[in-house]
């Protein structure tokens, strides 16, 4: 138990004091929240019961990253639960849920409201705001339009910030948790906190020392370097490390953007995707999708295709050869095409006649096209995204034409 944590009885009282039927989550009024919170709270809940409760949290309280009026009090109480039970088996997903809140806050800065809430929590209680006069009616008819439901969904940035501040002591404690997944989740939540409530999260600025610490997942090293670099902290010292994983972490940070060593590390990493996958099996703690997409993106953002040396171009071509497939067009080889032919980029839809073929090609353009032409799986006529990638740079999705052009 963390010092100052509520007892189980006090947490149950907090649950009872929230007006759930005036709040909403992804599907309907939040009247079902207490029953689901009890699954987290009960010490004898089976793993199957907890797994279902976690699935409910992601499906209803944070559906596809969306935040609702019931999200803040529900997560406040979940933080209280792992504060009372620091060995709680659902600690990691709860902390990742806090990271989702911070992600949402990064895109919401306006806390102004045309009206005051009808009712809100008292100081120290789970944070909520009520925006409707009458309780939401329990109904099985999901198709009926309910304007009050949408009004009840409203949540303000101030509520979210209060929730993040409430979570900081738990985040700090869990950074030293015995479970590696919980430590990773705590790092992810902590990095979000230092971005959205920096004055309150000063105790978490020591996270920068995690880079290179073997007690933490390597993906957290990248996340820490990226976030603190963006906050203006010096991470360039890590480029001199003897550990290649540490150097890549620093290279991914915007704080090393002007250092040529970062280009060397990024190019080296994408030319060896098997190394990247082995050393960073979980990707970066705060980024979705394959890490190679993000490493590639960092390299492309920092290099000029008309002035790029052969090392970077060769690395990009090697990545395409080793990993590119029909489904990676948007995040990988399609992005490479747009980078190499950025002088031909156009908005879609484009109804104008196609532009003439580029003559001559730059050495970078020729190398990229030759590499793409060699991969059979990138030339599926049914792949609409691939066709659009070429249309966007005013080139035909025609393998024979482009192979001839690139010779």
* Of 328, 313, 300, 222, the residue nearest 271 (C-alpha): 313
Q: Is the pTM of this model over 0.75?
A: yes
How far is C-alpha 166 from the geometric centre of its chain's CA atoms? 21
Residue 36 sits in the same domain as residue 166: yes
Question: What's the pLDDT band for 140 if we cut at 50, 70, 90?
Answer: low
Partner residues linked to 24 by β-bridges: 29
pLDDT digits 0-9 by tens, 302-355: 999 988 778 999 999 999 999 999 999 999 999 999 999 999 998 887 777 778
Point out the domain boundary residue: 280, 302, 324: 302
Q: Are 321 and 273 in contact (CB under 8 A)?
A: no
Q: Domain for residue 251, yes or no?
A: yes
Q: Domain for residue 364, yes or no?
A: yes
pLDDT digits 0-9 by tens, 23-51: 999 999 999 999 999 999 998 889 999 99
Residue 264 sits in the same domain as residue 367: no
Mean pLDDT within 192-206: 93
Number of domains in the chain: 3
pLDDT at 29: 92
Residue 38 sits in the same domain as residue 160: yes
Q: Domain for residue 3, yes or no?
A: no
Q: Domain for residue 70, yes or no?
A: yes
Residue 244 sits in the same domain as residue 107: no
Question: What's the pLDDT band for 143 if we cut at 50, 70, 90?
Answer: very low
Residue 216 sits in the same domain as residue 198: no
DSSP secondary structure string for all residues of 75-132: HHHHHHHHHH-TT-TTHHHHHHHHHHHHHHHTT------SS--SEEPPTTSPP-EE--
Residue 336 sits in the same domain as residue 376: yes
Residue 327 sits in the same domain as residue 398: yes
- Phi/psi at 125 (5° precision): -90, 165
- Phi/psi at 3 (5° precision): -55, 130
- Tokens in use for 403? 């192979």
Q: Are 225 and 250 in contact (CB under 8 A)?
A: yes
Q: Domain for residue 126, yes or no?
A: yes
- Residue 23 belongs to domain spanning: 8-205
> pLDDT at residue 145 above 80?
no
Point out the domain boundary residue: 281, 302, 323: 302
Question: What's the pLDDT band for 2 if we cut at 50, 70, 90?
Answer: confident
Q: Are 188 and 99 in contact (CB under 8 A)?
A: yes
- Phi/psi at 56 (5° precision): -65, -40
pLDDT at 111: 56
Residue 54 sits in the same domain as residue 126: yes
Residue 77 sits in the same domain as residue 190: yes
Point out the domain boundary residue: 205, 239, 267: 205
The neighbour count for residue 173, using CB atoms within 10 Å, is 18
Q: Which residues contact 373 (CB under 8 A, 6 or more apart)?
A: 399, 402, 403, 406
Q: Domain for residue 1, yes or no?
A: no
Sign of the Cα pseudo-torsion (228, 233, 236, 237, in order): negative
Residue 155 sits in the same domain as residue 220: no
pLDDT at 167: 97
Residue 218 sits in the same domain as residue 255: yes
Q: Domain for residue 271, yes or no?
A: yes
Q: Domain for residue 2, yes or no?
A: no
Residue 242 sits in the same domain as residue 359: no
> pLDDT at residue 240 above 70?
yes
């Amino acid at each position: 138990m963390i010092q100052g944590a509520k007892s189980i009885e006090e947490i149950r009282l907090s649950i009872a004091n929230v007006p759930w039927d005036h709040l909403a989550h992804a599907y309907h009024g939040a009247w079902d929240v207490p029953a689901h919170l009890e699954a987290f709270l009960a010490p004898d809940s089976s793993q199957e019961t907890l797994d279902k409760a976690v699935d409910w949290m992601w499906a209803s309280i944070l559906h596809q990253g969306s935040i609702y009026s019931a999200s803040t009090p529900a997560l406040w109480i979940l933080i209280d639960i792992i504060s009372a039970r620091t060995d709680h088996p659902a600690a990691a997903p709860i902390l990742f849920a806090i990271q989702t809140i911070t992600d949402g806050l990064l895109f919401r800065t306006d806390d102004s409201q045309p009206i005051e809430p009808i009712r809100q929590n008292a100081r120290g209680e789970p944070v909520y705001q009520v925006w409707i006069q009458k309780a939401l009616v329990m109904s099985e008819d999901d198709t009926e339009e309910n304007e009050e439901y949408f009004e009840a969904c409203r949540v303000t940035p101030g509520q979210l910030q209060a929730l993040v501040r409430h979570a900081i002591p738990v985040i700090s404690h869990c950074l030293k948790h015995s479970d590696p997944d919980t430590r990773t989740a705590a790092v992810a939540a902590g990095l979000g906190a230092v971005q959205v409530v920096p004055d309150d999260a000063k105790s978490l600025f020591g996270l920068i020392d995690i880079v290179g610490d073997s007690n933490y997942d390597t993906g957290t090293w990248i996340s820490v370097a990226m976030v603190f670099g963006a906050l203006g902290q010096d991470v360039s010292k890590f480029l001199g490390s003897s550990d290649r994983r540490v150097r890549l972490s620093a290279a991914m940070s915007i704080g090393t953007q002007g250092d040529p060593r970062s280009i060397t590390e990024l190019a080296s990493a994408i030319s060896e995707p098997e190394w990247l996958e082995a050393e960073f099996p979980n990707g970066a703690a705060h980024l979705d999708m394959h890490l190679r997409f993000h490493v590639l993106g960092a390299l492309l953002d920092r290099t000029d295709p008309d002035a790029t040396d052969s090392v970077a171009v060769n690395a990009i071509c090697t990545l395409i050869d080793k990993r590119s497939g029909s489904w990676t067009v948007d995040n990988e080889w399609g992005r490479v095409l747009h980078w190499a032919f950025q002088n031909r980029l156009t908005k879609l839809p484009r109804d104008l006649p196609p532009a003439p073929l580029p003559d001559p090609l730059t050495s970078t353009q020729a190398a990229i096209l030759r590499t793409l032409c060699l991969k059979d799986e990138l030339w599926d006529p049914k792949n609409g995204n691939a066709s659009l990638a070429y249309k966007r740079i005013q080139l035909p999705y025609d393998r024979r034409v482009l192979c001839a052009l690139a010779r």
